Structure 1
Amino acid sequence: MTVIESAPLLSDRLDALIEAETQAFVQREPLSREYSARATHLAGGCTSNWQIAEPQAIWMSHGTGSKIYDVDGCEYSDFHGGYGVSLAGHAHPAIVAAVQRRVTQGTHFAQPTEDAIVVSENLSQRFGLPLWRFGNSGTEATMDAVHLMRAATGRDRILKIEGCYHGHHDSVLVSVLPEPDDAIGPPDAPIGVADNTGIPAAILDLVSVVPFNDLAAVERALLAFPDQIAGMILEPIMMNAGIIHPVGGYLASLKELLHEHGALLAFDEVKTGLTVGPGGASRVVGVTPDLICLAKALGGGISTSAIGGTEPVMSLIADGGYEQVGTFNGNPLAMASARAMLTEVLTPAAYEHLDRLRDRMATGLQDVIDRHGMPWRVVTAGAKGCVSFLPDQIRNYRDFTELDGRFGHAHWLVQHNRGAFLPPWGKVEQWLLSVQHTDEDVDRFVANCEVLAGSLAEPA
């Protein structure tokens, strides 16, 4: 039973808060509303379905430092961070200089530049994998990872985690956010369901879905399909359901178990790579997989991605056994920005700054929660974090489904109306701190959470 179901008065206060904040939201965004009405040649009125959220899309003007500004002139401390892209903040001087310099020298040759060498060397040092290739999005990186696992093993079936998102290619658009009332099977043996239309049943049949933090379920799948499973892809710290940390020993044992059955392990670090630490979650947990996928923060705001791997797996690319190709792969503009990001922005001092801000945020939020007696928890991972609106630790997607989505929506509205910008999908997403955030930004966020908790707390 959720907190809401056990507290009807709290439910009423929550609904009233959402209604009031929605009205305030609409009143402060008249030009955004006009832009949405004007966007008749954009399918759905936006450039991505993730930009469509109640009560309306927010159209942006510009950003600098830790701040962004919408077309109505509203200023926000940016905790959205472009779903994890803006670890450098906005218009960071090092990124601006690198991009400006590269633009004057040519932005596309379909041939490599020296920056690609520097970026690959830096990633190898950070993540402990010797060989790298580049793409243009997280989707491309995870697609290559799945292809490589299949090519390296000669097998077709893959394992994925229930509730994990790995981009929008067929093999991973399975059980991303399945509705509990669908036929999704028992918690320890999920049934894979297509997460979008257009996914062939033949592809769906090649994906086995297991819960996060459940080694026994993985072993059962491996035994059920002997010599058929190419590998498993997962986020080492699950980030499509707030933030869910792996239990102790889970990832190390998972790697060992997969290898015992001739299968490979791929970490999707599109969200965790660089944001949770200099070497991503793999360094934090002390487990180096066969493949790592990076994107989002890597490009410093320019679209790029990377896939790194062990010598045996990546040799398939080197010898032509697997053709990893793309017109814009490792393009000069993306590599210039990524080089600046890795060598000038994400320094040891920058990570010290991020850690300090994270601690300030977590301490401030937990104090607010405790003072108002709310059954919530603060969960962090490096520069990322979230308020989990449940009293107990979430271990997997089924635990996550117990969370009432109205809390996340109310939190988003309260923060937005008071100058802190969060992803609109408040139930599933996280905040992101950037190297340009300040104590003032963090304190604004905490103060807004005080408004949320105070509005929902039981009256004295």
Structure 2
Amino acid sequence: MSADASSPRGPWPTSSSSPPGRSTSSAIDPKRVAELTEREEREFLAKRQRSRELWQGATHSMPRGVPSSFQDTPPQPVFIDRGQGSHVWDVDGNEYVDFHNGFGVMVVGHAHPSVVAAVNDRMARGSHFAQPVAEDAAVAEELTRRFSQPQWRFTNSGTESTLDAVRLARGFTGRERLVKIEASYHGHHDSLMVSVEPAPDLMGPVDHPNSVPYCEGIPRANVDLVTVVPFNDLDALERAFSHHDDIAAVVVEPVMMNIGIVLPDDGYLAGVRDIAHRHGALLVFDEVKTGVTIAPGGASERFGVTPDIVCLAKAIGGGLPCGAIGGREDVMATITDGRVAQMGTFNGNPLTTAASRATLLEVLTPGAYAHFDALAEELQGGLDGIISEHDLPFHALTLAARGCVTYRKEKVRNYRDYLDIDKSVPYLSWLYQSNREVLMAPGAEENWTLSVQHSEADVRRYIDNFAEFARDLTSA
């Protein structure tokens, strides 16, 4: 039971759709998936009637009834009323353990006392001046300690961070071309909205992927300045440099998190750095999703590779809009010298930096990361056991506060591997969690974020729900 004809939804795939030429694994019965999906969608819609009313009403003033197209997902959006600790409540009164956590933002949990106190104190003393405040330097110094980047500037989102990184790289090198990874998402600016999960009939050959605009409205000139390569393929990256002498930077998610979680092969990130440097280009890490979530110093720390520029946002802000870019002294000197413009009315906003300071110095302590690791171990062990017991062609992956179930038996190394996944199965799993009091980020990626306020009981609820899903999926 997908959204009906009166729904404001646009042309999005229904729950039963599968990628062209793909089918559900032989271990999974497609008819069983469809049957369970219909049942779970009926329950989902029945329990969220107020959300549906708000959604349909909002279409009069907002396209698709939501403030961001990412929020319009089958079978309908869920409107949230409030959050506290590791839980959120929707407008229909349904309570959830929050594994979504605002697309990876809320590693502090909801209404964390330290963040609330810092923001309230700052608010009482003024919320915006467009002048520097003392907390700006305190946050920059802590980011230097964590990420080994000596100079920092602030932004207001991950999109702004990667936008500024591109401008820095082009200004520093005097070149214009970018290399990006097929299926990585780096925000919604034109320079990098290229080949973000391109359609199979458009993506081109694996050894030479096409550069495909994400949507209409992106100038062809921008697309033509982007060369696309697969993740975990150093040979493809080397070929890109052999064909182009105008590459300013390689922009990469050190751990891909737009298609579940895809880990770098051993030595891959160091290899990317070495190839880029040998050809006079910079390495940019987009750590908007990995920054401070998979280690105190993100992927840079976890994998022991320091890029030339690192982009942060999401989790560093304690729930407020935020972003930051850090870089080498000589790269950031292009800002100091006035060669590259980096600016913004809300950069270093006092509320944001107060929340960031509390997040980094008071909440995300060594004890917080020990807590993440303990919860991740519980999740990994529980999910591995269920997958093994039911002989499911899935695997689980955990990285501190982040993790996912990948609905493929074999490791996913790149976008082409990910296309083997029939999205109807993770969609069904998402419905099971939603209907059993766990809120997940929508989509086939099954990517979760934990918070410092999550408990063992919270992760056990996810595991128990997954166990019920597995039993129902494999029952006759």
- Residue 455 (structure 2) pairs with residue 438 (structure 1): yes
2:191 counterpart SS class? helix
- Pairing partner for 2:409 from 387, 391, 408: 391
What is the CA distance between 1:367 and its match in structure 2? 0.8
1:449 aligned residue:
466
**In the alignment, what sits opposite 2:372?**
354
Provide the secondary structure at the position in 1 that maps to 2:29: helix
Q: Is the Cα–Cα contact under 8 Å of residues 262 and 412 in structure 2 kept in the other structure?
A: yes
Letter paired with 1:217 = A
Superposed CA offset, 1:395-447 (max 9, x none): 0000001111111111110000000000111x135101100000110000000
Render the CA deviation track for 1:74-118: whole Å, top value 9, x for unaligned.
000000010000000000000000010000000100001000010
Q: Quick one: distance in 1 between partners of 2:22 and 2:374?
A: 33
Deviations 1:202-243 (A, max 9, x none): 1110000000000000110101012x0001101001111100
Matched, 1:413 2:431: yes
Shift of residue 274, structure 1, vs aligned partner: 0.4
1:147 and 2:167 correspond: yes
Specify the alignment match of 2:233 in structure 1: 214
Distance 1:194 1:271 in 2: 22
Q: CA deviation at 1:181?
A: 2.2
In structure 1, the partner of 2:14 is none
What is the CA–CA distance in structure 2 between the aligned matches of 1:258 and 1:41, rounded to whole Å?
Answer: 46
Q: Which residue of the partner structure matches residue 401 of structure 1?
A: 419
TM-score by length of 2: 0.94
Runs of at least 5 residues in structure 1 that lack an aligned partner in the other structure: none
- Distance in 2, matches of 1:2 and 1:225, equals 35
Aligned residue among 28, 43, 48 for 1:24: 43
C-alpha contact 1:89 1:436 (8 A) present in aligned 2: yes
Alpha-carbon distance in 1 for matches of 2:348, 2:445: 31
1:266 and 2:284 correspond: yes
Counterpart-to-counterpart distance in 2, 1:458 and 1:20: 15
Task: List alignment gaps of at least 5 residues for structure 2.
Answer: 1-20
Distance between the aligned counterparts of 2:224 and 2:56, measured in 1?
Answer: 41
In the alignment, which of 55, 71, 84 is matched to residue 36 of structure 1? 55
1:168 has 2:188 as partner? yes
**Larger mean Cα displacement after TM superposition, 33-42 or 62-71:** 33-42
Aligned equivalents of 1:253, 1:424: Cα separation in 2: 33
SS at match of 1:171: coil
Matches within 5 A, 1:241-256: 241-256=259-274
Q: Is the 8 A contact 2:49 2:92 kept in 1?
A: yes
Q: What CA distance in whole angstroms lies between the structure 2 residues aligned with 1:322 and 1:181?
A: 39
Say what the alpha-carbon RMSD is for the aligned residues: 1.1
Is residue 70 of structure 2 the alignment partner of residue 53 of structure 1? no
Partner of 1:323: 341
Q: CA–CA distance in 2 between the matches of 1:129 and 1:259?
A: 17
- Report the equivalent of 2:201: 181
Number of aligned residue pairs: 455
Correspondence for 1:294: 312
| Aligned 8 A contact 1:163 1:240 in 2 | yes
For residue 170 of structure 1, give the secondary structure of its aligned residue in structure 2.
Answer: coil
Q: Report the equivalent of 1:119.
A: 139
* Matched-pair contact (CA < 8 Å) for 1:95–1:337: yes
Quick check: 1:85 aligned with 2:102? no
Pairwise CA distance, 1:51: 0.8
Counterpart of 1:368 in structure 2 is: 386
Aligned to 1:428: 445
Q: Which amino acid aligns with 1:362?
A: Q
> Per-residue deviation at 1:2?
5.4
The letter of the residue matching 2:214 is: D
Q: Tell me if the contact between 1:239 and 1:429 (Cα under 8 Å) persists in the aligned partners.
A: no
One-letter code aligned to 1:303: P
Name the CA distance, whole Å, in 2 between partners of 1:142 and 1:304: 13
In 2, the alpha carbon distance for the partners of 1:205 and 1:43 equals 30
How far off is 1:458 after superposition? Answer: 4.9
Contact 1:3 1:390 in 2 (8 A): no
In structure 2, distance between residues paired with 1:288 and 1:27:
49
| Residue 303 of structure 2, aligned match among 285, 301, 324 | 285
